[in-house]
Structure 1
Amino acid sequence: MGYGLNRGMLKLYSLFFLLLLPLVSNAQNGFEFNLIQKGKQDKNTLLVVGGIQGDEPGGFLSASLLATHYEITKGSIWIVPNLNFYSIIKRSRGPYGDMNRKFAKLSKQDPEYKTVERIKNYIKDDNVKLIVNLHDGSGYYRKKYEDHMHSPNKWGQCSIVDQANIDAPVYGNLEEISSKVVKHVNNNLIKSEDIYHVHNTRTKEGDKEMEKSLTYFAINQGKAAFGNEASKNLPTHKRVYYHLLALEKYMDIMGIEYKRKFTLDPKGVYRAINDDIYISLYNEKIKLPLSQIRDIVKYFPIKKDGVLDFKASNPLLTIIKKDNTYVIQYGNRRLSRLKADYLDIDYEHRSVKLKIDGKFQDVKFGSLVDVKESFLVQQSNGYRVNVIGYTNKNKRETGVEIKSKEIPKHFSLDRKGTIYRVEYYTQNKFAGMVLIKFKT
């Protein structure tokens, strides 16, 4: 649950005090969170925080989609999609305790001290006027007890404020704003059980645990702050749907305008989360589509020193090295494991010729090429070519027409059996990769 935690569990968490696994990162900064700034920066900025607790994927996936699938055409948004990135990777509420209970007082010896101080500085920034902290909570919040899963003790499906009003230059009418958000969400419910309510925790009236939270810290800096909870009883993509409905209403209230790259319904959200994700490596000599990637990819070209330079399409994507295996992680999901084939890398950028369905094309390394019937790799004196999984009697992989049925499906990069690797080598160095995608 996002905010709620009984005192017994709090005592348990207090007994435990990222990165233990080496992280391969384009920023080389361990598991530090990203701050993504979108729009034209101004003094009316919305700060959206996801991932303060790593077992709440609805929250951090919503923030990541806001970062990757929205264009801000008017106004300013700052997005932190992965505040507690190590917690996300570990699929844990908090390996070092609940980060959302560290905003009142925190020892400098705490492993998360620098992270908490950094997000505090963004909250206090003069540009930021409103903060939304995204959570997934258990059950369904109701103001009166209905049953075990629908009661005042549950945290799912509600908009949270610490008090009705604060003394702030703008957006101080917290409960009124929260009511507008709730009304908008409730006009777009998937089913009636999912109804949202305003949940005023009345923190300063004696809730000692909520006094330690991010939102209570924010309102004491004179900033409007809200928690948004989606129910853990819902599938993740439906949680994201409700979070995005709420976020769009906050943007509307603040006069922030945007363009969205997908349809805001459960199917559209599911596709946006799962389909449009990839990682590119070695300055885009390799580009891996990840939506259907196999659990294990063998003999994958890795630079001899073990350092894997990559760019990710989504801030929740990263690669973690463990021995000779490189794990591709998307939030708290492991997508694939790359089994290393250590090689020197040739960084020269070139294009190669392929004959695609009877027509020759110049193709750059890192490309994914659609093929209906067959492809042919033109022989080149400069390269040795390996079409992964393909063999013939003449032991040739260039100058021959290759059809999908001639490559065993278990050599495909994807689980559907449609994408295959064509790797190029010059002398003893890996030069680049082209992916062939057979249309089904």
Structure 2
Amino acid sequence: MTLNDWLPDSYILTLTGFGLLTALVVWLPLVLRKLPLSLPIVCIALGAALFSIPQITFKPLPLAYPQVTERFTEFVVIIALMGAGLKIDRVFRWRDWMVTWRLLAVTMPLGIVTIAGLCAWVLGLPWAIALLLAASLAPTDPVLASDIQVGPPKTGEEDEVRFGLTSEAGLNDGLAFPFVHLAILLATAAAAGEPWLGEWLGYHVFWELAVGVGAGWVIGKVFGWLTFHIPADSKLVQTGDGLIALAATCVSYGLTEVLHSYGFLAVFVTAVTFRGTHRDHDFHHDMHDVTEQIERLAMMVLLLLFGGALVSGLLSAVSWREAAVASAIILVIRPITGLIGLAGLRAERSEKLTLAFFGIRGVGSIYYLAYGLNHVSVADADRLWGLLGLVVLFSVVLHGLTVTPIMRSLDRQQGRDPDRDDPIDSERADHGKVAESRP
């Protein structure tokens, strides 16, 4: 018998690794919840260690697998958007969402313009490519921001900071798309001397935004009626199966994309509308739990691959210029544009500073750059990926190390006990009450 006969094949190793990963998905949040360390940091470190093993020759570089990168990150984002929308307790009213509109209408456009100018001036990128990079890096991320988002449905974990960051991340992943399309049009149609402004405003702005919001609202209403209000014993809530949230996610995204509009925007609108059809029903816990578990598992796989990309040459084209730009995006541009957007908002200074500081970049940025580079040819794409990877790494490390102490300090300032109101404990208590009420 040879040594190869004793070695397990790749399938067995993959199965074992998947089991260990799933165990970490369940266990790590309990270990890290009170530590100044986040789950994404641990995942990236594990991925870097794993892909540093000499026997592992696979290099998970996004430039080598552009379509896989786009589709995988797309899936992770839409699951996160559904989860974010379902757990927002606040009723949708224009005035009550004012912090969201400020971050979307002022902070994000200012961030895109500033980042584009910085990339063109410091890195010497063409304006169209600089705009593509800026549109990819401006939105905050719904996937990696779970520690600063509102708690599960009906847990009361919804102060102005958590609500603002959750709703911003839910909507700006869809609202960044017009700027991505503008960059693609400038790089293709404008370069060829073809008209582009009418197509961008009429199709990519008005049509796709309007249809995305409208389709998301209709689908959310339909799923809400089928789940809670259909006058029959066959309504979906009777199943007790939270997979309905996954069905709503896929239907909303798929149908909206068939209509050539923004699926990201539609999924979040569907989730908020779905939640609003019967806001206080306990079934929202079941749906949220399913989306959260799928999201966490997919996120951990993605971040393991990201860690592997970091040690496989993702940052090989990065110089001090890219490092300076990445630092400015995280430490200067987002905080300043955030404070400008929040100027005049009736909120405590500490709340404004926290909202402005936690502009986490992550999976959404990876998706947008992959999408853009799959639609336009760029000579130095490895340089763009290096800068984006550096921004995501800086964001994950900086925000991951500071989120726990900052949010706990903010809770104490506002008269809340962060230990008593721990989201995991609250969710566990709520589930116990739900379980006792069920036959």
Q: TM-score, normalised by structure 2?
A: 0.24
Considering Cα pairs closer than 8 Å and 6+ residues apart, tell me whether 1 or 2 has the greater RCO: 2
Would you tell me which structure has more helix in proportion to its own residues?
Answer: 2
How does the TM-score come out when normalised to structure 1? 0.24
Q: Specify the structure having the higher radius of gyration (Cα).
A: 1
Name the structure with the higher strand share.
Answer: 1
